[in-house]
A = this chain, B = another copy of it.
């Protein structure tokens, strides 16, 4: 890939220099040091979800692409490409049991690409072959103690795998809930959930974090156990210091002000991190920044504003790539999230605070928009260029023919039907 990067960058470096210098001059007039922002851009990192490298689908259908990764090692190869080109995704988030493998082999493959491992993800929303107890009616909150224990054990196993590969966090998202009013006693169901989580929390190493991830609906369609940030907060409070709340941007009710939830969780000392994606209707899991980029900016505006050594967040992408090459979608997404981070870093916070004190709503709002509409592409491109990445990751990836090459060794996958069939 190095050769392709060099070749493609060579075509673009002159234009980039011109654009960068013009932007630097413009920012200088606004009192902003472009180079400082560029250095800051280089510090950005968001983790890639291993499962995001395969083609996703809906309950109706899945249309696989060419050269789908066969296993976690293929996935890590793809993640290596993503990080190599964007320099923004140094870590991979694993999903167990999908990614179960020998930890040493995982570490070796990751090292090959200069990758590390982010939060572990357990899976108790699906049944696996030969599983003793079904999760059809729940896992950590199931009425049956043996089923709950099985789910607890699985989470503990995820922690152990994570320890072996250098992860330090576990994300727990469950599909537990109900499809009909009355199906479950919502209070007792939550009690069972909490008891199970206490067990998992008890198995957590001292330097680990446990992330509780809320979601309004799906796969359960009348209620979910962890339906919103209020319940997630209750969970994190009851469990203890190492428990935090993880915010998936697509898991809220319509119209909800997500940046305000971020602000509240920061105040409560319970924000743990994000699953980034974008959405228009429900949990659409679309590429980050492609539907409502200003919303993404406003989330980052809160994060940049609240930056402190105490605020140690896990940033992950969580998307479903149904009609695009997953590698391309993950690269675009990482860059759009990085863009929002950089834009939010341009906000003139002294001016903003002044407008806020003066109740000058119009200028306060305009101050945010000015930062948002600054085209920071030259800063992102230069940050990549200077760290060995591609000025234009998508074009470079396409030029490399990577997908066609791996398609030769990765067998064609047939289009499995969705869940409804």
Contact = CB atoms under 8 A, between A and B. Distances in A.
Contacts of A134: 63, 415
Copies per complex of this chain:
4
A79 interface: no
A322 interface: yes
A217 B282 contact: yes
B15 A19 contact: no
A217 B372 CA distance: 24
Contact of A56 (B223, B233, B373, B419): B419
A181 B164 CA distance: 42
Given A294-B294, A361-B323, A420-B56, A286 B63 contact: no
A304 interface: no
A280 B255 contact: yes
Interface string A371-392: 0111101000000000000000
A35 interface: no
11 contacts: A57-B220, A58-B219, A60-B419, A63-B135, A136-B323, A143-B356, A181-B290, A181-B294, A221-B281, A229-B230, A323-B359
Given A51-B420, A56-B419, A257-B280, 13 more contacts: A18-B25, A58-B419, A59-B219, A126-B418, A134-B415, A179-B324, A185-B305, A186-B259, A186-B264, A186-B302, A217-B255, A254-B255, A281-B282
Interface of A: 15, 18-19, 22-23, 25-26, 29, 51, 54, 56-63, 98, 125-127, 129, 134-137, 143, 175, 178-187, 190-191, 216-223, 227-231, 233-234, 252-257, 259-261, 263-264, 266-268, 279-287, 289-295, 298, 301-302, 305-306, 320, 322-325, 328-329, 332, 352-353, 355-357, 359, 361-369, 372-375, 377, 394, 414-421
